[in-house]
Amino acid sequence: MFSSMAIAATLVFSAHAGTLTHDHTPPPAPDFSAERDPFELDWTSPAAGIWVGVRPQSARFPVTGTSVIVIGETGALVFDGGGTPLQAERVAEKIRTETDLPVTHIAISHWHGDHHLGIGPLREAWPEAVTVSHSFTRAVMDSTLMDSARNPDATPPGALRGQLEGALANPDLPEPNRLWLEQGLVWVDLIEAQGRAGRIPEIDLVFEDSLEIDLGGRVVSLVHLGHGNTKGDIMLHIPDARMIAAGDAVVHPTPYGFFSYPESWAAALRRLREFDVDLIVPGHGGLMTDWAYVDLLTETLQSIADQTAVLVAEGHDLDGVREHFDWSALEPRFAGGDPFWAGRFDVWFKRPILEAAWRLETGLDNEELIPHEHGVE
């Protein structure tokens, strides 16, 4: 069944070769053309029976995770089915185009909603499919960490438009941020409706360190390499295709630092480096055929842990850590001097990861699990 697909796959893959990064260089700033809605994916097939759906312009508003489909001889697995139902519907459509086999597994890389809040259409289409995650991820689903997603109707209709228009009314808004928000405004009604339609998924199966899944003629592994972007990060290793989908432990060109674990994240990336693969699929952004960006990220996370430990030992509070932290050897290699990427790097990484590192260094938990109280809204 793979032979004819392999030919098609090669053609598709070469057509998308421009999305591969060979050495790490930051891409040009997005062009912000908004003809396509923000939940459309570009599909790439790096090997027979494997499809990777990457949202073009990964940094546009709102962010949403990459979806991976793996088809065996008896069933298919989806890794991160979609942050919105519209994305998941497109994943389902892609699966039906490529195979008559059922989806048997829907894996969730971590608890952030842009990777799973939309998977309802996949569960409806294949009700026998098993939804699987790390045990921590399932625990989060029932905790207060998911409260903002628990009751989407709590945000009144039009609220998102109001927020974007309010931000755009600020005369001091940097131009790159203005472009980013204006593009979001073009699609604001769709984005808000999709956000409202998302639901926290039920998770059927959990694991701690690794889980092998036999799809018929193809065995894949879900692996947890340690605390990283969250405490429950998992990756999808497909040995026969020599590839790994890393979830948000690898996000290009600027990582997300919110409530993460710099030191153990760096250790997890060193473990990732030991996998014998030729292709790394980030949780957001273009595919990678070398380790340059993973090495940069590892070095950066280790530096964050090391510098923060020294600054806290010297008695600095969070403001002091931010003031004295030395980004000079790190930031230009992510932002490349581009004001758009510098802005995203600041908002998505520099500010949150120093807070995360400072919290850990002072004994705070970055993802404390407080059970959601059922029936109390």
* 233 in contact with Zn ion (CB under 5 A): no
Structure-token pair, residue 51: 């499809």
**Shortest Cβ 348–Zn ion spacing (Å):** 10
Q: 312 φ, ψ to 5°?
A: -65, -40
What single letter denotes the amino acid at residue 358?
W
Nearer to Zn ion, 114 or 192 (CB): 114
Residue of 189, 188, 116, 193 whose CA lies nearest to 152: 193
Handedness of CA 46, 51, 57, 61 (dihedral sign): negative
Nearer to Zn ion, 101 or 222 (CB): 222
**Shortest Cβ 79–Zn ion spacing (Å):** 13
Query: Out of 248, 263, 331, 367, which residue is the one contacting Zn ion (CB under 5 A)?
Result: 248
Site map 171..190 versus Zn ion, x via CB under 5 A? --------------------
**Shortest Cβ 190–Zn ion spacing (Å):** 19
Question: 77 pairs with which residues across the strands?
Answer: 70, 105
Query: Out of 38, 49, 65, 262, which residue is the one contacting Zn ion (CB under 5 A)?
Result: 65
Nearer to Zn ion, 16 or 112 (CB): 112
**Shortest Cβ 281–Zn ion spacing (Å):** 13
Structure-token pair, residue 217: 């003629």
Cβ(220)–Cβ(77) below 8 Å? yes
Q: Which residues, including other chains, have CB under 8 Å from residue 162's CB and lie 6 or more apart?
A: none
Q: Which residues, including other chains, have CB under 8 Å from residue 256's CB and lie 6 or more apart?
A: 112, 229, 248, 348, 349, 352
Contact stretch for Zn ion (CB under 5 A) within 64-72, 180-188, 218-226, 230-238: 64-72
What single letter denotes the amino acid at residue 367?
E
**Shortest Cβ 115–Zn ion spacing (Å):** 6
Contact stretch for Zn ion (CB under 5 A) within 170-178, 241-249, 319-327, 364-372: 241-249
Nearer to Zn ion, 58 or 307 (CB): 58
Contact stretch for Zn ion (CB under 5 A) within 63-71, 151-159, 319-327, 337-345: 63-71
Query: Out of 89, 114, 331, 367, which residue is the one contacting Zn ion (CB under 5 A)?
Result: 114
Angle of helix 85-98 versus helix 188-197 axis, rounded to 10: 80
Cβ(242)–Cβ(276) below 8 Å? yes
Nearer to Zn ion, 114 or 263 (CB): 114
* Residues 268-297 interacting with Zn ion (rule: CB under 5 A): 283
Contact stretch for Zn ion (CB under 5 A) within 184-192, 195-203, 210-218, 242-250: 242-250
**Shortest Cβ 110–Zn ion spacing (Å):** 8
**Shortest Cβ 367–Zn ion spacing (Å):** 15
**Shortest Cβ 48–Zn ion spacing (Å):** 27
* Number of residues counted as binding Zn ion (CB under 5 A): 5
Nearer to Zn ion, 64 or 307 (CB): 64
Residues making contact with Zn ion (CB under 5 A): 65, 112, 114, 248, 283
